[in-house]
Amino acid sequence: SHLVELPTCEVHKLGEIAELVTSVRLSRIRKQKLALALKNEGYIPKLLQLFQACESVKNTEGLHLLFDIVRGILYLDKAILFEVMFSDECIQGVVGCLEYDPCLAQPGWHREFLTKIAKLQEVIPIRDPELKQKIRQTSRAQYIQAIITPNPSDFEEDFLSTLNSFISSSKEEILHGLQRDEEFLPKVFARLTNEATAHEQRCELMKFFKEFCAFSFMVPEKRDKFLKTLAKLGFLPTLKMLMGMDDLQVRSAATDILSYLLEFSPATVQEFVMKEARQSENDNQLIIELIKQITCSPDPGFGGDKQLMEILCAMIDPEKMLATFSNLEIFEFLDIFYDRYIHVLTAPLLAHTSEEWHEIGNENFNFFFPLKALIFLVDNYQAAEILASVLELLSFCVERHKYHMKIYVTKKDLLRRTLVLMKSKHKFLALCAVRFMRRIIGLKDELYNRYITLGNLFEPVVKALLDNRSGCNLLRSASMELFEFIQKEDIRFLIAHVVEKFSDALESVIYSHTFQGLKTKYKQEKDLKNEKLN
């Protein structure tokens, strides 16, 4: 019944006001009383007038106190205050106060950024003025949320729950309003694809459209209607075009939208991909665009290529395609994939492992590696990251496309080309090469086993093992695990090959009983054969 008594709103009282706002933080009832007092007395506009006065005379101490006060009021997490603080009259003053964080050496640029965002949002084609205002208000709330939210370890679980609910309900209201506007999506698509649309405006529109799609996909009762509308507008061809743009922000948003679509309606994407594969033989296809972005990434370590790889794997996974297509149709698609698409994926690997052979040897044995590849990989870390991504995808293909990939590997001698990378100074790339071979051996396929032994493809692995006795533990462990798998699974054909070819060289590997186990198995098999012959 008794509200909190507020100090008079004057500059010399700012310290007292800051102390009051901070003191109520642990009491739910006092927070409620303070929020009501601030609202009833119109206190926030008065504080913002003090902010203007302090800023005009460069009163740093006062500005720092106002930062603490405004942030403390936002931490009260009361909807009655959000309506005031996010209004057109107050928002510039609120974010202005938040620019003067005492922990920062220089003030922030929040007002300038919000003004720029508001100007860019004019590109969003919305006719309803109330809906436009709601979008502006929600955008402000999200921006302030990002500014004032501390590290996750510094606050309790339901921290700013009212602000989160406020943003969420506002987004839902916007979504329903936009879905009622039949002209909205066609206008968005027209502006996104229009070459005259300014770069920054396209980025802002793409960011907004991404949020709109994410929210639409998450409402089950609206999802089907939304997907039908997108299909009528040629959504996937437009998305493919946007993914091919030079701008990283536009590409990233388009990739996120494609990821949402694969999560909530994989059949839509798979049907589109199948249709493209059957009807067209040009390079302007969604799968080719994805592969090109993975293999031509300007910064593969940035993380975007992982998302692209997940999308590509989901598109070409026969198990996931079974929900949409028959076995015959999937086999037809894989025929097309290995006829038209796989060469785009393996191009960097084949290009960087040329057939200009150069002899390399040690005291145990000699073998050959491409000289050109060694020079290139030593000098280029970015290329190594791209090749690691390619090998990860090819390993996926080995497991999921057993028949088609086996033909491709043996025909292109792909494993030999991959094992060239064992000589890379980038150990993560050498590790990827070992894993690729391990994935092939893991299938325990007779054709693969004969291909490996006839090509003497254990040789690079054994040499790397000998060279890394005191080097990279991961590479050594991965190589040892490969031989342990052969022993454990009793792959006799490979056991015989390894023992007969590399027994002497591996005598010096004293840190593992694996090779002794291989020799024992080999001897047992040999003795058994002799008994049968006798």
Give the whole-angstrom CA distance, residue 150 versus residue 82. Answer: 19
Tell me what the mean pLDDT of segment 364-373 comes to: 42
pLDDT of residue 409: 96
Per the listing, tokens 């791209």 go with: 386
Lowest-pLDDT range, 99-108, 160-169, 348-357, 479-488? 348-357
* Residue 333 confidence class, pLDDT cut points 50, 70, 90: very high
SS (H, E, C) 13-52: HHHHHHHHHHHCCCCHHHHHHHHHHHHHCCHHHHHHHHHH
* Residue 300 confidence class, pLDDT cut points 50, 70, 90: low
Asked if 348 and 386 touch (Cβ cutoff 8 Å), the reply is: yes
Give the whole-angstrom CA distance, residue 16 versus residue 18. Answer: 5
pLDDT of residue 125: 80
Per the listing, tokens 């693969």 go with: 448
User: Which residue in 382, 385, 455, 376 sits closest to 423, CA to CA?
Assistant: 376
Mean pLDDT of the chain: 85
Q: What percent of the chain has pLDDT over 90?
A: 40
Tell me what the mean pLDDT of segment 478-502 comes to: 90
pLDDT of residue 372: 43
Give the whole-angstrom CA distance, residue 237 versus residue 262. Answer: 15
Tell me what the mean pLDDT of segment 17-42 comes to: 89
DSSP 291-314: HHHHHT-S-GGGSHHHHHHHHHHH
* Residue 511 confidence class, pLDDT cut points 50, 70, 90: low
Lowest-pLDDT range, 112-121, 168-177, 285-294? 112-121
pLDDT, tens only, 31-84:
889 999 999 889 999 999 999 999 999 999 999 999 999 999 998 888 899 889
* Residue 377 confidence class, pLDDT cut points 50, 70, 90: very low
pLDDT of residue 493: 92
For 439, other C-beta atoms within 10 Å of its C-beta total 17
Residue 269 CA neighbour count, 13 Å, CB half: 24
User: Which residue in 148, 3, 139 sits closest to 67, CA to CA?
Assistant: 148
Tell me what the mean pLDDT of segment 223-243 comes to: 87
pLDDT surpasses 60 at 303: no
* Residue 363 confidence class, pLDDT cut points 50, 70, 90: very low
pLDDT surpasses 60 at 301: no
Highest mean pLDDT: which of 52-61, 126-135, 161-170, 433-442?
433-442
pLDDT surpasses 80 at 350: yes
* Residue 374 confidence class, pLDDT cut points 50, 70, 90: very low
Tell me what the mean pLDDT of segment 83-104 comes to: 90
CA-only gyration radius of the chain, Å: 32
pLDDT of residue 299: 59
Q: Exposed, middle or buried: residue 351 (CB in 10 Å: 0-12, 13-18, 19+)?
A: middle
Beta strands in 341-422 (DSSP E): 357-361, 366-370
Lowest-pLDDT range, 24-33, 274-283, 355-364, 507-516? 355-364
pLDDT of residue 139: 86
Asked if 295 and 390 touch (Cβ cutoff 8 Å), the reply is: yes
Tell me what the mean pLDDT of segment 392-414 comes to: 96
Predicted model pTM: 0.78
Give the whole-angstrom CA distance, residue 84 versus residue 38. Answer: 10
Tell me what the mean pLDDT of segment 143-169 comes to: 76
Strand-pairing partners, residue 357, are 370
For 110, other C-beta atoms within 10 Å of its C-beta total 19
Q: Which tokens belong to 494?
A: 């490979």
Amino acid occupying residue 354: S
* Residue 402 confidence class, pLDDT cut points 50, 70, 90: very high
pLDDT of residue 378: 40
> How far from 51 is each of 6, 37, 45, 46, CA to CA, in Å?
18, 20, 10, 9
* Residue 509 confidence class, pLDDT cut points 50, 70, 90: low
User: Which residue in 96, 83, 85 sits closest to 170, CA to CA?
Assistant: 83
For 128, other C-beta atoms within 10 Å of its C-beta total 14
Asked if 358 and 369 touch (Cβ cutoff 8 Å), the reply is: yes
Give the whole-angstrom CA distance, residue 480 versus residue 434. Answer: 10
Alpha-carbon torsion angle 528, 532, 533, 534, nearest 10: 100
pLDDT surpasses 50 at 362: no
pLDDT of residue 180: 81
pLDDT, tens only, 418-467:
999 988 888 899 999 999 999 999 999 999 999 999 999 999 999 888 88
Q: Which residue has the higher pLDDT, 259 or 365?
A: 259
User: Which residue in 187, 185, 177, 275 sits closest to 230, CA to CA?
Assistant: 185
Tell me what the mean pLDDT of segment 11-21 comes to: 91
Q: What percent of the chain has pLDDT over 70?
A: 90
Tell me what the mean pLDDT of segment 405-424 comes to: 93
Give the whole-angstrom CA distance, residue 20 versus residue 339. Answer: 72
| CB neighbour list of residue 307: distance below 8 Å, 6 or more residues apart | 255, 256, 259
